[in-house]
Amino acid sequence: MNGLVALGAGIAALTGIGGGIGIGIATGKATEAISRQPEASGKIQTNLLLGAALAEGTAIFGFVVALLIILFLGQ
């Protein structure tokens, strides 16, 4: 049973990969947009920070689920 708990925690922790990829793509696109239109950098940065926070929140939720699986099911 411990093997399945470890597998479940590993799968739950994979959400960090999605968050990292999402933030990386968003940052690249925001940098490209600012270089094309520097006068709109304030709006672009605001939207970038909001999107990064949402992507990071998803990754944190997955990490918390992985910890809960380990702590409560790994006994």
Residues of the chain with pLDDT under 50: none
- The confidence score (pLDDT) of residue 6 equals 85
Q: How far apart are the first and last CA of the chain?
A: 10
Half-sphere exposure of 39 (CA within 13 A, CB side): 0
pLDDT tens digits along 30-42? 999 999 999 999 9
Task: Read off the pTM.
Answer: 0.73
Instruction: Quote the pLDDT of residue 14.
Output: 86
